Amino acid sequence: MKNRFMSLYATTFFRYFILITVGVTMMIPFLWMISTSLKDISSVFVFPPRFIPERFYWSNYIQAWEAVPFLRGYINSIVVSFTTTIGQVITSSLAAYAFARLNFFGRDKIFFAYLATMMIPGDMTMIPVFALLKKVPEWLNLLFSPETQWWTNDLYLFGFYVGKPLGVDSYFALITPALFTAYGTFMLRQFFLNIPKDLEHASKIDGCSAWGIYRHVILPLSKPALAALATFTIMGSWRSFIWPLIVTSSLEMKTLPVMLEAFKGTYSTEWNLLMAGSMLMIFPLIIVFLFCQRFFVEGIQIGAVKG
Amino acid sequence: MNKKENLLGFLFLLPNFLGFFCFLLIPVLLSLGMAFTDWDLLSPPNFIGFQNFVELLKDNRFWKYLGNTFFLMISIPFNIMGSLILASLLAKNVRFSKIFRLVFYLPTICTGVATCMVWIWLYNPNYGLINLFLSYLGVEGPGWLTDVSWSKPALMVMGFWAMIGGQNMILYIAGLQGIPQSLYEAADIDGASFLQKFWHITIPMLAPTTFFIVIMSIIGGFQGGFESAYIMTGGGPDGSTTTLSYYIYNNAYSWFRMGYAAATSWILFLIIFLFTLIKWKISKKIEGED
């Protein structure tokens, strides 16, 4: 008996030992990033390095903030990720409702085709979409007289430059292709399928239409799943790099990650500023995650239950 | 099923389907068309038949970058095993499990440009933390991102750090909690060891989860490597970190060889499709034998 007790003790110790070691190791890059971001440039290269800086140079953050138009980057990222998220939640919840509840012609075949599209590499669709965004305004110019070419005008909203209405290097190009998601549709459908149908029967007797059921029964009951999808989308959009990189050319239209990359190009050895800039980018992600952690975990699980 | 439901279904699908039509279906068809042209975005495209595909087969760089893509995917089984180990440590009642999860999940949350920047700094040959640590041990660390033989392992280590505590770990935790405790109790009575239980109960019971994770990792792996190549290495040294995704990007947007890039992306799609199919068939066969 005593032996068994000892081995239980040993396994528990072993378990925590591994968990703590792995946890600390995984945190080191972040701690090092914070540490470097608060040093002045001369102590960045001091040997042996100090983990806690002698003096905290908070001014690095201000310097990084002013080096590139970070504020503009923040605004762009907020506009793009919020619009994308709202759009994805609307389009995919509508489609998911149809796939989960309505009985229309070829439903399951269409759904399977949706799933299969997840295998198509993003690289494949990006090339023609980019080409179209670049070419469509030019083609329109050939078709219409110069007076009616409103798509070539720069737009301002309350004095704030919002780019061109169409074509590359615009909010249109950053947002529209991202408004639709097969993954989100799939995830929400899985969740809707698990909502008991009895609830809808009652509303049907009360004379609720399909829209009424979607709006007043399904959506309110699916708040956790919708929140999970929204969390995924907003964070994914905040981090997304390749598409914003391709479609933006002017500094005013760049989102935060692309701007950070441009920042790296000009301050390639000033590690304290680069780390401060990186911190500025991931800080909102960490905040969102801390508040939405519950939805995150649930969402991942919904998405994977027996495809 | 009646006409009214057909119409309703269509209406509910419409917003999503419109997006798919414009940004998936049409682009896929256009991309297939482009693959048979020499379009450079400026002059009108010429139809050149299978010339792009023939050139690809003879293109040494293409084969090299395909090899790189495969090489980087060697890390997938290690990433999955890492996630499984962390998950099994966390699945039982552990104190502070929320904090552990948060810590393990943090790298996944922050992946992208910011973490690439941190890792360039960590891998810095002279002042980076990793080589400083190695110098304490009396080892002179290599120039991780500038040495042909170390660049790929360096990216794989970063990927391991970014992946093990992420989505896969959470899926495995859920999977482990779904295994009935009675199976382990029965095995205990038979005197099974820890490893025997793990091998004969845990692994088979987690098979559906593993299947999902492997498929997603394969699909992701073939398309991967763009961000690290673009931000950290520029695809180098000597093309050793250029993956297919980065090659497609360069062809399309740096050299404006839209047709060639489209052809490469179709080859990539066929490879992904083939591997997903093979994995699917293997899993079916194993299930059939049981």
Neighbours of B100 (CB within 10 A): 20
pLDDT higher than threshold 50 for residue A272: yes
pLDDT higher than threshold 90 for residue B44: no
Contacts of B13 in chain A (CB under 8 A): 94-95, 98, 110
Show the tokens assigned to A1. 């008996």
- For residues B190-204, give the mean pLDDT: 87
pLDDT digits over A15-56, tens only? 889 899 999 999 999 999 999 999 888 888 877 777 888 888
Q: Which of A11, A77, A101, A127 to mutate to test the interface with B (most CBs of B within 10 A)?
A: A127
Is the full-model pTM beyond 0.90? no
SS3 B156: helix
Spatial contact of B108 and B165, defined as CB atoms under 8 Å apart: yes
Residues 7-66 of B with CB under 8 A from A: 8-10, 12-13, 15-20, 23-24, 26-28, 30-31, 34, 39, 41
Neighbours of B212 (CB within 10 A): 18
ipTM surpassing 0.90: no
- Measured between CA atoms, the residue of chain A closest to residue B87 is A19
* Kind and range of the H or E run holding A161: strand A160-161
What is residue B96's predicted lDDT score, i.e. its pLDDT?
82
Residues 6+ apart with CB under 8 A from B68: B152, B225, B239, B240, B241, B242, B243
Question: Measuring CA to CA, which residue among A224, A236, A220 is closest to residue A178?
Answer: A236
What is residue B109's predicted lDDT score, i.e. its pLDDT?
86
Show the tokens assigned to B113. 């440009």
pLDDT digits over B132-159, tens only? 888 888 888 888 998 899 999 999 999 9
Q: Report residue B186: phi and psi, to 5°.
A: -60, -40
pLDDT higher than threshold 70 for residue B290: no
pLDDT higher than threshold 70 for residue B38: yes
Q: How far is A261 from chain B (nearest CA, A)?
A: 7
pLDDT digits over A186-229, tens only? 888 888 888 888 777 777 767 678 888 888 888 888 888 888 88
- A162/A79 Cα distance (integer angstroms): 11
Contacts of B34 in chain A (CB under 8 A): 127-128, 131
Report percent pLDDT > 70 for chain B: 98
SS3 A270: coil
Report percent pLDDT > 90 for chain B: 43
Q: Does A142 touch chain B (CB under 8 A)?
A: no
pLDDT bin (cut points 50, 70, 90) of residue B197 is confident
pLDDT digits over B218-273, tens only? 989 999 889 999 999 988 788 999 999 999 999 999 999 999 999 999 999 999 99
A105 with B90: Cβ contact below 8 A: no
Spatial contact of B231 and B112, defined as CB atoms under 8 Å apart: no
What is residue A159's predicted lDDT score, i.e. its pLDDT?
73
